[in-house]
Amino acid sequence: MKRLGNSLLLCCLVILVDAFQDEEVKTPGFTADNFTTIQSTISDKIAEKNLDSTETSRKLKCLCTNCPSKECETYGQCYVTIIHELSGERRIYRNCFTMEQLNPKSRPFICMNTGNKAKFVNCCKDGDYCNRHVTLPPNEVVAVQGPPMRYLLLAGAVVVSLLLTVVLVAIVCYWHHHRPQNDRIRRGFPDVESILDRSELPLMGPHTPIRDIIELTSSGSGSGLPLLVQRSIARQIQLIDPIGKGRFGEVWCGRWRGEFVAVKIFSSRDERSWFREVEIYQTVMLRHDCLLGFIAADNKDNGTWTQLWLVTDYHENGSLFDYLMRHTVDTAGMIRMALSIATGLAHLHMDINGNKGKPAIAHRDLKSKNILVKSNGTCAIADLGLAVRYDSVTDTIDIQPNNKVGTNRYLAPECLDETLNMNHIDSFKRADVYALGLVYWEIARRCNTGGGCEDYQLPYYDMLSNDPSIEEVRKVVCTNKQRPVIPNKWQSCEDLRVMSKLMKECWYHNPAARLPALRIKKTLANLGAHDDLKC
């Protein structure tokens, strides 16, 4: 019964302490300065109630924070007080309820939350220095006062705000995934699926030509499709048949959504060549009707080997070399081909200034096998893997660090005798013009003016072997200064006569004497004006 009475008294004292500490800020008599006094009074009451029933045979040793010897002795209990400040700082006090502190009029100390700090106490008497441990067992923690009403209101406002944010995000996500596809494309950069899979817009249906996709998705820079769209298109292509083999790999005919495309496949050994050609094709403002249309680039890796893809427009007539092997042309067709090649080369060579300008580019491997014949009889220059660009800001040329050069048969004299000025872009342009003259010779030989035409032959076919070395070509072109033979009958046809004159002005031994591509384009445009020729 005595223990029950002590417990009831202790509960009452807890309530009184709670009331005092809740009013700590408002009650002048209860401050941090008299905190030690309150602790003493609490210990007095506990000691008083336990004197009659506690054996006093041995004092209990406790750790003491404020004692000189850092320890104290008591017949009561050891305790640890933990105070958590709002700033996050934690303070720990250790002491003991001593006999000197016992006072019948005191009330017990208990840990309470006073609103501005959290206080917890852990009392013990099960051994010396039992208050060494800081952790307060859950069943020893006395219920604390709830937070002030303003904190409850603030917490409620935070919870409501979070709920509203979650609902808003859910609505936005739902609207983004279910809104009309044609609305997405009007809001900045379109995603891949909105480009390839929407069918609401007539231009972007399942059978939309790649040209229309390029016009719709390009930023106006003329450098081709966005990279994500390129990869998506490349991975939907079905290869059909091989159509050729070049310097760096095979060329296949592929199909994308019912439309034919050409896929140039590089091996992983030629990664640098693949990267270079892709880099050139994506040059700002490069896209032109007289240059092979670039569509996409991607890599295919199945774990054992890697293929590097370059996807371009497909032209069923094949290269100019293949076409001239099988067909002849009339004078209008000859001029149409020659003009389109000169137009494409002039665009490559042109340096366009401005924020969206294009640097001057030299092809370095112009030949009939790198020119494709389109269905309308015009041509498109292809294979830009060896091209070089001129940087007008730094006045430099970005020549790749490799030993590859153009095709020996088409190399200009200055390339053969190694006198070409590698630091001047015009030197590379003039070498292109030399090769252009040889291509014109190939076309003119297949021009049928009514009196028949010659069989197709490569330049210097009667002077060089099928696969001549540089030394062999150098002897013919540089040492002997020979050029392809121009038949006398070409002089009887005005168009062939003009063409033969252009050839000679293209393959002068002195590079500075050769015509620029733009001048050649204008000459051919005037020659074919009566045919309303367009590239």
Domain encompassing residue 465: 320-531
Q: Whose CA is closest to 246, among 349, 321, 339, 175?
A: 321
Q: How many CA atoms lie within 13 A of 474 on its CB side?
A: 9
| Residue at 158 is within a domain | no
For 88, 162, 163, 164, the CA distances from 158, given in Å and listed in that order, are 21, 6, 9, 10
Q: Are strands 117-124 and 396-397 parallel, antiparallel or unpaired?
A: unpaired
Query: Could you identify the residue written with the tokens 């417990």?
Result: 7
- Tell me: do 53 and 175 sit in the same domain: no
Residues 361 and 484 in one domain: yes
Q: What is the residue-wise DSSP string for 41-67?
A: HHHHHHHHHHTTTS--SSPEEEE-SSS
Element (H, E) at 463: none
Q: What residues have CB less than 8 Å from 216, skipping those under 6 apart?
A: 185, 195, 203, 204
CATH number of the domain encompassing residue 271: 3.30.200.20
For residue 431, give the nearest of 444, 440, 441, 421 by alpha carbon: 421
Q: Looking at residue 530, what is its pLDDT?
A: 54
Q: Is residue 110 part of a domain?
A: yes
CA gap 445, 466 in Å, rounded? 19
How high is the pLDDT of residue 77? 83
Question: Could you give the C-alpha distances from 379 to 102, 373, 395, 531, in angstroms and in order?
Answer: 111, 5, 32, 16
Q: Tell me the per-residue pLDDT of 319-350, one tens digit each, with 9 for 90 and over.
A: 999 999 999 999 999 999 999 999 999 999 99
Intervals of the chain under pLDDT 50: 2, 4, 8-17, 19-32, 35, 49, 51-56, 111, 113-116, 137, 139-146, 180-204, 219-221, 532-535
In whole angstroms, give the CA distance from residue 9 to residue 19.
16
Q: How many CB atoms lie within 10 A of CB 12?
A: 12
Side chain identity, residue 387 = A
In this structure, are 367 and 435 located in the same domain?
yes
Backbone dihedral region for residue 188 (phi beyond 0: left; psi -120 to 50: alpha; all else: beta): left
Q: What are phi and psi of 22, to 5 degrees?
A: -60, -30
Q: Is residue 151 part of a domain?
A: no
Domain termination residue (choose one: 206, 240, 258) = 206
Residue 72 and residue 64 in contact, taking contact as beta carbons nearer than 8 Å:
yes
Residues 6+ apart with CB under 8 A from 116: 24, 25, 86
Residues 424 and 509 in one domain: yes
Residue 375 covered by a domain? yes
pLDDT of residue 159: 86
Residues 288 and 341 in one domain: no
Q: Are 438 and 494 found together in one domain? A: yes
User: Per the domain annotation, does 152 fall within a domain?
Assistant: no
402 shares a domain with 516: yes
In this structure, are 485 and 497 located in the same domain?
Answer: yes
Q: Taking the mean position of all CA atoms in its chain, how far away is CA 118? A: 51
Please check whether residue 157 lies inside any domain of the structure: no
Q: Is 365 a catalytic residue?
A: yes
Parallel, antiparallel, or unpaired: how do β-strands 249-256 and 306-313 relate? unpaired
In sequence order, what are the residues at sequence separation of 6 or more whose Cβ sits closer than 8 angstroms to the Cβ of residue 289? Answer: 378, 380, 535
Residue 470: what pLDDT?
94
Query: Which of 258, 286, 313 represents a domain boundary (last residue)?
Result: 313
CATH of residue 365: 1.10.510.10
Distances (CA, A) of 508 to 44, 49, 482: 119, 123, 11
Closest to 197 measured CA to CA, from 188, 184, 206, 189: 206
Asked whether residue 384 is domain-assigned, the answer is yes
Tokens describing residue 305: 């080997």
- Let me know whether 380 and 402 are in one domain: yes
Residue 439 lies in a domain: yes
pLDDT of residue 344: 96
Q: Please tell me the total count of domains within the chain.
A: 4
What confidence score (pLDDT) does residue 336 get?
96
Give the pLDDT confidence of 478-532 residue by residue, as tens digits: 999 999 999 998 998 999 999 999 999 999 999 999 999 999 999 999 987 755 4
Question: Per the structure block, which two tokens stand in for 380?
Answer: 């498109």
Q: Which of 44, 298, 313, 365 is catalytic?
A: 365
Span between the terminal Cα atoms of the chain, in Å: 114
Shared domain check, 511 and 364: yes
Look at residue 510 in the predicted model and tell me its pLDDT: 96
Q: What is the pLDDT of residue 464?
A: 95
Which DSSP state fits 74? E
Coil, strand, or helix at residue 156? helix
225 shares its domain with 199 = no
Separation CA 2–CA 386 (nearest Å): 104
DSSP β-ladder status, 249-256 and 259-267: antiparallel
* Cα–Cα separations (whole angstroms), residue 245 to 169, 214, 369: 54, 27, 11
| CATH classification of the domain holding 129 | 2.10.60.10
Half-sphere exposure of 503 (CA within 13 A, CB side): 21
Question: How many residues can be counted in the chain?
Answer: 535
> Given 313, 348, 369, which residue is the final one in a domain?
313
Does one domain contain both 275 and 361?
Answer: no
Quickly list DSSP for 293-334.
PEEEEEEEE-SS-EEEEEEEE--TT-BHHHHHHH--B-HHHH
